[in-house]
Every structure is written in structure tokens, then in C-alpha cells.
Amino acid sequence: MQMNPISRRFFLHRGALAVAGTTALPGFLVRSVLAETASAPKRRMVVIFQRGAADGLNVVVPYREKNYYAMRPSIAIPQNQVIDLDGFFGLHPSLANFKPLYDAGHLAIVHAAGSPDMSRSHFDAQDFMESGTPGIKSTEDGWLNRALQAEDENHRLQETAFRALALGPEVPRTLAGKVPAIALNNLNNFSVAGRGPTPSPAASAFEAMYGASGDHILHAAGEETFEAVKMLRAANPAQYQPAAGADYPNSEFGNRMKQIAQLLKSNLGVEAAFTDIGGWDTHQNQGSVDGQLSGRLRDFSDSIAAFWRDMGDDAENVTLVTMSEFGRTARENGTGGTDHGHANAMFVLGGNVKGGKVYGKWPGLNNDQLNEGRDLALTTDYRQVLGEVVSKTIGASNLDLVFPGARISTEGFLRLV
């Protein structure tokens, strides 16, 4: 059969399929349409990028460091309002919904983590973290896509169109690569390379191409997937009811986390999901217990906690990891904010996670311990954390493929998974 005149390259960019929206499949559709093509993977990863450089020192507070309060006279979190974790570190009070997850042993924290690259540019730092090759701009694919490739070296999965997906308007750098990925923007409608519930001409052409392709990845679930899509266009996503107690914020990030839960629970074969949340670039009026950062943290933690509760028993097979391009300066600036820094804090949440602990070597906040005299120093390469997570969860053991040149070894694992 001849390929559609619209070339495959038009739809596939770096192995990514650009899709504007989809929704969860009703149970009967899972059984009848996708039963043979979308068996749920045993382990699933969710990656969250905090774009804008979150202030790790006010997120996971080293409240026993005297210099922390000396350097932040107006934005430090008072000791009596910090949510204590271990007698030295504590959570910002707006992260209250993280504390039960930490106490239950599901949530681990890695402090003083991040990219070894010294760039203070948002664009470069995000690009380096998503490619997994700090300092190298020529890398074309992302670390999470390469992790799926590394998994395939050990055991080839029966792939579906939904194996790798992002909640957002486009496929992120993290998922670019040989393994096809899709971007899902809105669960209320579905279109390919278009907008709204009515498929565009490009969408119709893609549908014809998808079904005609001899490529295993595309063809395996082609006809069945588009039959499912036709059903989804007529479905009402608002009918989805989160599990009892899963109270998602009515925010863009809250809705994205709810959509990820829907997709993971719908037996679509989702294995890797990505989304991001902006608003972390707090140069001015950052606030302390209240204010700009506080509101962002509340949305962040409440959405993730609701997702975890919503997943129910399925949460046992989910691992969620968070990151931001870099941290912020140890000292507050003259406008009640913080500027671009270096090391930061990462969260790892999962059924297999050895939580209830803050991992990593703490470098200290004395003036002579700061990076370049201004930032929290880096002691854990973020690739070491991600390498452990992908090797222990999805079986991506070839870490030279996932993080080329990083020389990530199992000896350096923090043993948090």
C-alpha cells in the first residue's frame, strides 16, 4: 500500500507524534478494542519538570543552618513553621500534603542535587537537563527516550501509541528520540496536529498513514488505536471520577496530573509520562510562608498528592521524579527574591522508593562552603538519581546509552529505589 503523499517526516519529528488531546478509555473499550495491543506495563514513570528554577532552600529547608537565616532575613521560613522531617531539614509549610507521603516511606528527597553544568541560562540549563548531556548542545534526543531504548535492549515490549506521552502542547526535549512519543494537550477533545474535536486534514491524513504504515511501532496498534480514538471523540472526559480523597486543585498542573492518572489507569500501555509546571523564577517578591513561592508549592504538592491517592493500588507500580534546571542563590536579593543559583532539591515518589529520608551529602551553607560564594554547592549529579530510577523501575540497565559520557555506575547509587 502506498504511503499518503503527506510525508511521514511531517508527523514524526525526532520520533515524536504531535497530538493535541485524548482521554481515558472506558472499561468496555479497553477490553474490546485494546485488549490485545495495550497490556499495561508493570512499572511506569512520571517525570515532572519545574521550569524556572525552584528555590530548593525554601522548598526543603535546612532550618538548623544559622547562615540560612542570616542570608535570608525576609524570605526564610521560620523554624516554628517548618514541617520537620529529620531534625535538620523540613518542608515549606505549603508542602503539608507531602508529609504523610514522606512518613509512609513513599517519598524520598535528594538535596544538593542538579546538573554539573554551570550555566545560569534557563534555556541552556533546561536543554542540558532534558537531553541528559550537560554542556553538550549537539545532543538531539532526550534522556527518557533513551531510557526506553535501553529497556528495549533487555526485553522488547509490545508497543502502543501511548507508550511515551507528555501532558502539554508539544513533545518535550526529554522524550525526543527514536521511541515515538505523543503530546496530549486536552482531554476534552482529540485531534492530531490540529485543534478541536473535528480532525484537521492533516489529522485525517495521519490516520490514513498510521494505518498503512509497515513500521512495527506505528502499525502494531494502528487500526485499533484509531478505532479507540473515534470512540474517545464522543466520550465525555468529565465523567471521570477520581478516587475518594483525591482532591485535585483546579489549576493547569492539577488538571494535568489528573489526566496522567486517567491515562495510567486506562490500560493504554503508558509507560513514561512527562509534564511540567512553570512559575518558579522568583526574582522578586518571593515571599516566605506566604506569597508567590508558597502558592506555587501548594499547587505542586496538592496536585501530586491527589495523583498518588487517585492511583490507589496502582501506585505501587509508579515512580514519580521531579527536577528543576537549577536552584537559586543562597542570599536573597534586594527585591525580596532570589537569583539564578546552582544545586537544588529533587523529589522521588513511588511504591518501591525507600522514602522517609533526605538523601545526598549536605555541603553546608557557611560562606566558604557556597558555590562561587553564592549558591548551594552540588554534591549529587541529577543523572545519578535518574539512572538509579530508570534502571530499577523500567529495567534500563545500559546507563551509557541513557546518559552518554556520564559514567553513571551502580556503585554511586543512593539506594533510594
| Ordered per-residue pLDDT tens for the chain, 417 residues | 333 332 333 233 333 444 333 333 333 233 333 333 444 457 899 999 999 999 999 999 999 999 999 999 999 999 999 999 999 999 999 999 999 999 999 999 999 999 999 999 999 999 999 999 999 999 999 999 999 999 988 766 566 777 898 998 888 999 999 998 888 776 655 443 333 345 544 445 445 544 444 333 333 334 444 544 544 444 445 578 999 999 999 999 999 999 899 888 877 788 999 999 999 999 999 999 999 999 999 999 999 999 999 999 999 999 999 999 999 999 999 999 999 999 999 999 999 999 999 999 999 999 999 999 999 999 999 999 999 999 999 999 999 999 999 999 899 999 999
Q: Which three cell numbers stand for residue 142?
A: 532526550
User: Alpha carbon of 65 to those of 61, 62, 70, 210, 337: distances in Å?
Assistant: 9, 6, 9, 58, 19
What percent of the chain is helix, strand and coil (3-state, nearest 5)?
A: 35, 15, 45
**DSSP at 328:** B
SS3 175: helix
Q: Given CA atoms 203, 28, 249, 174 in this order, what sign does their dihedral have? A: negative
Q: Which three cell numbers stand for residue 211?
A: 494505518
Residues with Cβ within 8 Å of residue 301, at least 6 apart in sequence? 94, 95, 96, 97, 98
| Per-residue pLDDT at 130 | 98
CA–CA separation, 116 and 342 (whole Å): 9
Domain 8-412: which CATH number of 3.30.450, 3.40.1710, 3.40.50, 3.40.720:
3.40.720
- Residue at grid coordinates 535518574: 386
| Per-residue pLDDT at 3 | 36
Contact of 66 with 293, CB cutoff 8 Å: no
Please state the separation of Cα 238 from the chain's center in Å. 24
| Per-residue pLDDT at 8 | 33
**DSSP at 289:** S
CA–CA separation, 363 and 377 (whole Å): 6
Strand 60-62 versus strand 357-359 pairing type: unpaired
Q: State pTM to two decimals.
A: 0.84
| Per-residue pLDDT at 315 | 96
| Per-residue pLDDT at 24 | 35
Q: Is 293 exposed, middle or buried (0-12, 13-18, 19+ CB in 10 A)?
A: buried
| Per-residue pLDDT at 226 | 56
310 - beta bridge partners? none
CA–CA separation, 108 and 359 (whole Å): 7
Residues with Cβ within 8 Å of residue 26, at least 6 apart in sequence? 231, 235
- Residue at grid coordinates 562561587: 372
| Per-residue pLDDT at 183 | 82
Using alpha carbons, select from 100, 27, 28, 94 the residue that is nearest to residue 61.
Answer: 94
Using alpha carbons, select from 400, 350, 357, 409 the residue that is nearest to residue 381.
Answer: 409
